[in-house]
Amino acid sequence: MKTATLIILLIIPTLSFSQGDSEIVLLDMQVKGRTVTLSNPVNVTNHKGYDNQPFFSPKEPLLYFTSDRDTPNTDIKIYNYQTGTTSFLTNTPENEYSPTVTPDGKFISCIIARKSPFAQDLGKYPVNGGDPIILINNLVVGYHAWIDDNRLLLFVLDGNRHNSLHYYDLRTKEDKVIAKSPGRSLWKIPGGNAMSFVDETDSLSWKIKKLDINTMQISDIGPTLLRKEDMAWTSNGIIIMSDGSSLFSLQPGGSEGWQKINILNNNASIQGITRLAVNADNSKIAIVVRE
């Protein structure tokens, strides 16, 4: 049995995607009503190679992310943005992707990818390090988001470069296909029992969708930026996306549409923005940029 270790030092799954060199930039964030302001961008990885898939701890000043250890393999790192220190959560021969804090706060769930025999399982590691627990090994899981302690939304590769969105119950093993051609960005919508995903069925007009967990009904939230799938929610229900070089906000149900976000004290090189994550009190945002 392999062991994950903690060592002080700051996706795309291998299934069908390539990994480009990337960095994670952390910015201060202020949200007043519907207005979002960002400032003081800082590169918190400064590591040649792949640093991606940021996810904030909901209660601690920690940012989890995927990083290659100067080898083809990827592990999960932790950046403490109060102390400025970085540590490894995992140190394994497998590839770990998409670190996500579980609803109970005791584990980091992630995709565990193996080349021989090929598998992309969903597993979880204790937050203080230790052996993984495999949760799902009968699907090729690309991305995931927790609905509650036992239920998840899964981006699943079905073969031939197709994918689908699954509702999965760990207790009953219920596995239900919810939609076809979802994007990789799956989130719980703040303030209710609903999840969001990007519908990419129409190649020219992608849409942000809402899945009501109580009724299992899907409805429209709004359009994405042109063919962009990466997004994040603020805790007061604002959506943030990027067109690759700038950041924009959207108030669902509002009439303003996408609004460009002002970045103050912008001395960092911010290009090729993809994935995003916002912390629980809306004071920080992490963005993945091209190295």
Read off the pLDDT of residues 113-135 as tens digits, 9 standing for 90 and up: 998 889 999 999 999 999 999 99
Report the percent of the chain where pLDDT is more than 90.
Answer: 83
- The overall average pLDDT reported for the chain is 91
pLDDT at position 270 is 85
pLDDT at position 115 is 87
Read off the pLDDT of residues 235-288 as tens digits, 9 standing for 90 and up: 999 999 999 999 999 999 998 999 999 999 776 668 899 999 999 999 999 999
Is the pLDDT at 71 greater than 90? The verdict is no
Lowest mean pLDDT among 17-26, 206-215, 239-248: 17-26
HEC assignment per residue over 30-47? EEECCEEEEEEEEECCCC
pLDDT at position 19 is 61
Cβ pair 270, 46 in contact under 8 A: no
Residue 229 CA: distances (Å) to CA of 77, 158, 260: 24, 19, 17
Cβ pair 99, 65 in contact under 8 A: yes
Nearest-angstrom CA–CA distance, 142 and 208: 19
The pTM score is 0.92
pLDDT at position 189 is 98
Long-range contact set of residues 75-81: C-beta below 8 Å, sequence gap at least 24? 76/108, 76/110, 76/125, 77/9, 77/10, 77/51, 79/10, 79/24, 79/26, 79/44, 79/45, 81/26, 81/44, 81/284
If phi > 0 it is left, if psi is from -120 to 50 it is alpha, else beta; for residue 288 that is: beta
Q: Provide mean pLDDT across the span 51-60.
A: 98
pLDDT at position 150 is 98
Q: Provide mean pLDDT across the span 220-227.
A: 97
Binned at pLDDT 50, 70 and 90, residue 171 comes out as very high
**More confident: 169 or 7:** 169
Relative to beta strand 175-180, strand 107-115 is unpaired
Is the pLDDT at 13 greater than 60? The verdict is no
Cβ pair 63, 54 in contact under 8 A: yes
Cα dihedral: 114, 23, 47, 50 (round 10) = 20
Binned at pLDDT 50, 70 and 90, residue 159 comes out as confident
The rounded Cα 276 to chain-centroid distance in angstroms is 7
The CATH number that domain 7-22+42-227 falls under is 2.120.10.30
Which residues share a beta bridge with 26?
A: 42, 286
Nearest-angstrom CA–CA distance, 118 and 53: 22
pLDDT at position 160 is 67
pLDDT at position 116 is 80
Degrees to nearest 5, angle at CA 109 with 163 and 3: 125
Is the pLDDT at 11 greater than 50? The verdict is no
Binned at pLDDT 50, 70 and 90, residue 83 comes out as very high
